[in-house]
């Protein structure tokens, strides 16, 4: 497993470099073929390379991705290493170790009948080219297991917030800021009003929600104007939204679209909207109960669960009504950060858990 993990990690796969993603797909395809006994379909959508293995009529979907957030050249500053049972390197935790565990789990089964494996190449940038593939497959299946990294301490993820992303564009009118500023309509001032209006929006839709599982509406990037001596004709505010329920996602969307710009002559344009629906507890509860029983039977300790704010492709499968259990991948930490790492001793037990879970559900 360690040798396979090193093989994937030293092949960099930054999402924005499509050639690198294609090279990574070659490595993942070869590794998967060695373990599964068959080559995958190679699916290239808008230049992004995805891989799919299908054995018979799909009943169980195993879902992962091979792209990472790490820019090309990151191996020079974050090289592959294995020391004191901890593996490090770009993408080792999110989520190349999950792919290795998945391949080894499936290789241990007497039959892969009813199993579909989908490894996408653009999860880290929103899954724009893979979403249709994910949903097409999940519609046929009784369960989806997502090999994303676990939560703290190895907890599987039984809840994920849904995500929405907006660009709020304020249109004004340019004018010389020294000679005749009164003839302009300042889009930057309009954007400031819009930003402040976002502050209380989450509270409007969160009445009664638990404190640890609330909606967040966060203005992130913003910019305005073209030169320092011109009244800005346009300003943009980017907004990141995380929601615990589909109702909250719809309520936030409606509230964003009701926003107004209290600057005479200015106009607000709303771009974007909901991206991933939430993975709610109802989608994962039955599978978590089954996985917990298997973990106890295998003697690998009580299985814990967690709800997290980050989204994954499991949000899409849950949104379709396919029961989904996420975070079945690596145990470790530091996703996307300098401390990204995997606890190697946990890889084999997690693979055994996945193998038993897949076999039971497929049967």
271-307, pLDDT tens digit by residue? Answer: 999 999 999 999 999 999 999 999 999 999 899 999 9
pLDDT over 80 (residue 164): yes
180 classed as catalytic? no
pLDDT tens-digit profile of 105-140? 999 999 999 999 999 999 999 999 999 999 999 999
pLDDT tens-digit profile of 47-75? 999 999 999 999 999 999 999 999 999 99
Quick check: 276 and 309 in contact, CB under 8 A? Answer: no
Alpha-carbon dihedral 197, 198, 199, 200, rounded to 10 degrees: 80
Query: Percent of the chain having pLDDT more than 90?
Result: 94
Which residue among 4, 12, 123, 280 is the active-site one?
A: 123
pLDDT over 70 (residue 208): no
pLDDT over 70 (residue 207): no
Which domains are delineated in the chain? 2-160+278-362 (3.40.630.10), 162-273 (3.30.70.360)
Determine the average pLDDT of the residues in 319-334: 97
Determine the average pLDDT of the residues in 41-52: 98
H/E element, 235: strand 234-243
Which residue among 12, 67, 206, 313 is the active-site one?
A: 67
67 classed as catalytic? yes
Q: Side by side, which strands form the sheet with 267-276?
A: 216-224, 234-243, 162-171, 267-276
């Amino acid at each position: 497993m360690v040798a396979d993990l090193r093989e994937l990690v030293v092949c960099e796969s930054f999402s924005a470099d499509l050639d690198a993603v294609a090279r990574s797909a070659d490595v993942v395809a070869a590794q998967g073929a060695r373990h599964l006994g068959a080559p995958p379909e190679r699916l290239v959508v808008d230049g992004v390379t995805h891989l799919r293995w299908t054995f018979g009529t799909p009943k169980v979907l195993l879902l992962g991705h091979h792209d990472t957030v790490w820019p090309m050249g990151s191996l020079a500053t974050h090289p592959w290493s294995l020391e004191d049972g901890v593996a490090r390197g770009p993408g080792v935790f999110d989520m190349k170790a999950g792919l290795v565990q998945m391949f080894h789990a499936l290789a241990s089964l007497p039959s892969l009948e009813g199993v579909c494996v989908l490894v996408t190449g653009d999860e880290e940038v929103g899954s724009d080219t893979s979403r249709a593939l994910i949903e097409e497959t999940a519609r046929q299946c009784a369960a989806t297991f997502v090999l994303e990294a676990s939560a703290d301490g190895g907890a599987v993820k039984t809840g994920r917030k849904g995500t929405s992303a907006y660009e709020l564009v304020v249109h004004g009118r340019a004018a010389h800021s020294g000679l005749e500023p009164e003839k302009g309509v300042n889009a930057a001032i309009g954007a400031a009003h819009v930003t402040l209006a976002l502050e209380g929006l989450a509270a409007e839709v969160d009445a009664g929600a638990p404190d640890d599982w609330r909606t967040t509406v966060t203005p992130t990037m913003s910019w305005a104007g073209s030169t320092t001596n011109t009244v800005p004709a346009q300003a943009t505010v980017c907004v990141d939204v995380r929601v615990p329920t589909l109702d909250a996602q719809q309520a936030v969307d409606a509230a964003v679209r009701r926003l107004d710009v209290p600057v005479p002559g200015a106009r607000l344009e709303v771009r974007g909207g909901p991206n991933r629906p939430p993975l709610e507890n109802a989608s994962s509860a039955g599978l978590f109960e089954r996985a917990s029983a298997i973990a106890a039977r295998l003697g690998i300790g009580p299985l814990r669960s967690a709800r997290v704010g980050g989204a994954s492709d499991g949000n899409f499968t849950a949104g379709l009504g396919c029961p989904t259990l996420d975070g079945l991948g690596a145990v470790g930490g530091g996703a996307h950060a300098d401390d990204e790492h995997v606890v190697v001793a946990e890889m084999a037990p997690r693979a055994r858990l996945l193998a038993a879970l897949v076999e039971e559900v497929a049967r």
